[in-house]
Amino acid sequence: MSKNLKFYLKDTIRQMVDFSATAQSRGVEPPPVQKPFLPEDVVLSLPGPREWAGIGDLSVREAVASRKSRRSFGGEALSLEELAFLLWATQGVRRVASPAAVYRTVPSAGCRHALETYLAIFRVTGVARGLYRYLPLEHALVAVAHRDDLEAAVVRAALGQRFVGNGAATFLWTIVPARMEWRYAEASYKVIALDAGHVCQNLYLACEVVGAGTCAVAAYDQEAADTLLGVDGESEFTLYMAPVGKA
């Protein structure tokens, strides 16, 4: 492997960044913490924590002990409560402190939370099949697209890994680099990758609570995944994905 590529996994780069010249230090307003949506967009509100009568309790010890990558899924649908819980566990908002600091259920370098969560929904009770984006601030879904070949398109984006289209829903995370670059400039990219790991691990543990399984997927066709989600591949691009389904 090229030493130049390994460099971005080291924190040596932090010593090379002029933090006095970052957008934050120059007084530039931070990028929005969430992609905007239009007034005419179809938005589906999700049940919040106080409404999760169907979500059971599982100790952290039990969830960690039983967590594993699962690639075989049955045909059972996820309930709307279960999906809402999984989304809250991976990107839910705990407190909005300021436009530059929104505290969520997962850690993020400098509280920058540069990820966006998309969902290819195949079988979720009360939600039409299609592509959606999670709105953490509203705890809601916004419709992105509906297409007849959704499962096949997700599998193509995952380099033909069929199990990625066999669950009840597939999580697809994109990154908006400008959110992290605003504070950390060239030191952003290592911590962006770390943040993605935090999010997916929470998904693993939350799946154990609802009797579902998931498998982290980092091998995908970049162009196909970006095209599927309708992102430009520069200001926003796909970083990670994970199918979720009942056994």
Write down the pLDDT at residue 8. 80
Write down the pLDDT at residue 193. 95
pTM for the full predicted model: 0.96
Listed in sequence order, the residues at least 6 apart from 8 whose beta carbon sits closer than 8 Å to its beta carbon are 189, 190
pLDDT (tens place) for every residue of the chain, 247 residues total: 566 778 888 899 899 999 999 999 999 999 999 999 999 999 999 999 999 988 989 999 999 999 999 999 999 999 999 999 999 999 999 999 988 889 999 999 999 999 999 999 999 999 999 999 999 999 999 999 999 999 999 999 999 999 999 999 999 999 999 999 999 999 999 999 999 999 999 999 999 999 999 999 999 999 999 999 999 999 999 999 999 999 8
Q: Which domains does the chain have, with CATH numbers?
A: 3-246 (3.40.109.10)
